[in-house]
């Protein structure tokens, strides 16, 4: 029959594919559906047919983790280059390194401060607020880096990214912002970092490449004209659902707020557009937040053309009903809706919610994979062996 499976996975992003791969390797028959016409969720990338340059369709994806279990798991499907992410920012027509480090500070103040001198300077400039008492993003940022650096690099960029005044954003948004009193400009602090040697899609396809995994694309879980839909399978087969949690419950507690991104890409007839993978634009008069230049993610790929390059501008805005949800907005109102959805989940014991959309959480790839490995071991495997843990 069309329901000849042991497990239904809704969504072929890293969360869904990790569950599917683990279940198949334990001998279970898995069907993975995705409403998009490609596998891989937001990590999907493709080779631009004109230039051969790998383009990340849903924004640049940099893999990094300090979790050894996740690192060993992902290395079964791909090897990684030695890429290390670095970002620059353009403020008033001058380019500075990010995250804010001794290089940024000395360039900004046209100085040659030692680490100790820079610490003292920033402490003076940050004295308006203390880190412990900061009530919002603006106060937290000023407490961390002082007002001049905040106004140059954070205030307007954050307002563009969130379309919300920084005094109304939670302090946590900026809490992970590293400030370094060295010239170290690595974006991530993780133990393991790199990009998949053959690209994201090759990695993702290898995860799904198992005789017990069937993938059906262009298939929406709420479309009752196709056999693997909510009404037909819930209660019949265990389901791992990685789509939006509010959609699953027909928005019964109201829609959760998301931000979306618009990307515009362009082939530029120059060998090198900006000399680096990501350039942020800190100022309010530039409408985009950043420009990605994909060739720089893979300096090792000698086959890339020498006369053309692909750039992609990124714009941020609130998501409307038909937009791709990217970042949870997470207002207090959203949190209370989410709690109501969590309560509704209790009435669906054989549906497990996971991933970015299913839990309304920003998850990096390594976090999505790590939480899927845990959910598989703790919940899915017991369900499949006939002893539901719920």
- Active-site positions read 176, 180, 259, 290, 314, 362, 364
CA pseudo-torsion sign 331, 328, 175, 94:
negative
Among 45, 57, 89, 359, binds ligand UDP (CB under 6 A): 89
| Residue 375 binds to ligand FAD (criterion: CB under 6 A) | no
Among 126, 278, 279, 365, binds ligand FAD (CB under 6 A): 365
Among 5, 8, 9, 13, binds ligand FAD (CB under 6 A): 13
| Residue 312 binds to ligand FAD (criterion: CB under 6 A) | no
| Residue 158 binds to ligand UDP (criterion: CB under 6 A) | yes
257-286 residues near ligand FAD, rule: CB under 6 A: 261
Neighbour tally for 229: CB within 10 Å: 18
Show the 3-state SS of the chain: CCCCCCEEEECCCHHHHHHHHHHHHCCCCEEEECCCCCCCHHHCEEECCCCCCEEECCCCCCEEECCHHHHHHHCCCCCECCCCCCEEEEECCEEEEECCCHHHHHHHCCCCCCHHHHHHHHHHHCCCCCCCCCCCHHHHHHHHHCHHHHHHHHHHHHHHHHCCCHHHCCCHHHHCCCCCCCCCCCCCCCCEEECECCCHHHHHHHHHCCCCEEEECCCCCCCCCCCCCHHHHECCECEEECCCHHHHCCCCCCCCCEEEEEEEEEEECCCCCCCCCEEEECCCCCCCCEEEEHHHHCCCCCCCCCCCEEEEEEEEEECCCCCCCCEECCCHHHHHHHHHHHHHHCCCCCEEECHHHHHCCCCCHHHHHHHHHHHHHHHHHHHHCCCCCC
**Structural Rg of the chain based on CA atoms:** 23
| Residue 341 binds to ligand FAD (criterion: CB under 6 A) | no
Among 16, 166, 194, 257, binds ligand FAD (CB under 6 A): 16
| Residue 34 binds to ligand FAD (criterion: CB under 6 A) | yes
**Contact track, ligand UDP, 257-296, x by CB under 6 A:** -----------------------x-x--------------
* Pair 341, 251: CB distance under 8 Å: no
| Residue 319 binds to ligand FAD (criterion: CB under 6 A) | no
User: Which of ligand FAD, ligand UDP, none sits in contact with 58, Cβ below 5 to 8 A by type?
Assistant: ligand FAD
Binding residues with ligand FAD: total (CB under 6 A): 35
User: Which of ligand FAD, ligand UDP, none sits in contact with 194, Cβ below 5 to 8 A by type?
Assistant: none
CB-nearer residue toward ligand UDP: 66 or 378:
66
CB-nearer residue toward ligand FAD: 58 or 108:
58
Q: Residue 251 — left, alpha, or beta (φ > 0 → left; ψ -120 to 50 → alpha)?
A: left
User: Which of ligand FAD, ligand UDP, none sits in contact with 329, Cβ below 5 to 8 A by type?
Assistant: none
User: Which of ligand UDP, ligand FAD, none sits in contact with 154, Cβ below 5 to 8 A by type?
Assistant: ligand UDP
Measured from the CB of residue 324, what is the shortest distance to ligand FAD in angstroms?
Answer: 8
163-202 residues near ligand UDP, rule: CB under 6 A: 173-174, 177
Q: Interacting stretch for ligand FAD, rule CB under 6 A, among 58-66, 100-108, 158-166, 179-187?
A: 58-66
The C-alpha atoms of residue 293 and residue 297 are separated, in whole angstroms, by 8
Among 7, 8, 9, 15, binds ligand FAD (CB under 6 A): 15
CB-nearer residue toward ligand FAD: 42 or 89:
42
| Residue 57 binds to ligand UDP (criterion: CB under 6 A) | no
Q: List residues bridging with 64 in a β-sheet.
A: 193
Interface with ligand FAD (CB under 6 A): 10-16, 33-36, 41-43, 58-63, 220-222, 242-243, 261, 326, 355-357, 363-366, 368
Interface with ligand UDP (CB under 6 A): 89, 98, 153-154, 157-158, 161, 173-174, 177, 280, 282
């Amino acid at each position: 029959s069309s329901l000849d499976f042991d497990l239904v996975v809704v969504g072929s992003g890293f969360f869904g594919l990790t569950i599917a791969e683990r279940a198949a390797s334990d001998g279970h028959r898995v069907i993975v559906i995705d409403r998009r016409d490609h596998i891989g969720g937001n990590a999907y990338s493709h080779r631009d047919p004109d230039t051969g340059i790998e383009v990340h369709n849903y924004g640049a994806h940099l893999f990094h983790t300090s979790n050894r279990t996740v690192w060993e798991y992902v290395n079964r499907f791909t090897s990684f280059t030695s890429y290390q992410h670095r970002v620059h920012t353009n403020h008033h027509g001058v380019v500075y390194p990010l995250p804010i480090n001794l290089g940024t500070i000395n360039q900004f103040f046209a100085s040659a401060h030692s680490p100790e001198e820079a610490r003292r300077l920033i402490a003076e400039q940050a004295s308006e607020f203390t880190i412990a008492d900061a009530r919002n993003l603006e106060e937290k940022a000023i407490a961390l880096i002082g007002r001049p650096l905040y106004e140059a690099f954070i205030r307007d960029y954050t307002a563009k990214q969130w379309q919300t005044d920084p005094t109304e954003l939670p302090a946590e948004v900026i809490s992970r912002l590293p400030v370094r009193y060295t010239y170290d400009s690595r974006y991530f602090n993780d133990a393991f970092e790199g990009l998949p040697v053959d690209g994201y899609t090759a990695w993702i396809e290898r995860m799904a490449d198992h005789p017990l995994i069937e993938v059906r694309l262009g298939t929406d879980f709420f479309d009752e004209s196709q056999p693997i839909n909510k009404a037909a399978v819930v209660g019949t087969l265990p389901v791992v659902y990685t789509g939006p949690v509010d959609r699953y419950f027909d928005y019964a507690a109201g829609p959760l707020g998301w931000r979306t991104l618009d990307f515009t890409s362009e082939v530029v007839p120059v060998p090198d557009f900006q000399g680096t993978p990501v350039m942020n634009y800190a100022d309010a008069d530039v409408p985009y937040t950043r420009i990605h230049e994909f060739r720089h993610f893979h300096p090792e790929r000698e086959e890339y053309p020498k006369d053309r390059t692909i750039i992609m501008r990124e714009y941020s805005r609130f998501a409307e009903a038909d937009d791709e949800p990217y970042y949870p907005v997470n207002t207090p109102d959203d949190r209370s809706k989410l709690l109501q959805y969590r309560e509704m989940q209790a009435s669906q014991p054989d549906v497990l919610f996971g991933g970015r959309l299913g839990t309304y959480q920003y998850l990096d790839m390594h976090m999505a994979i790590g939480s899927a490995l845990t959910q598989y071991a703790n919940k899915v495997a017991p369900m499949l062996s006939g002893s539901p843990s719920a």
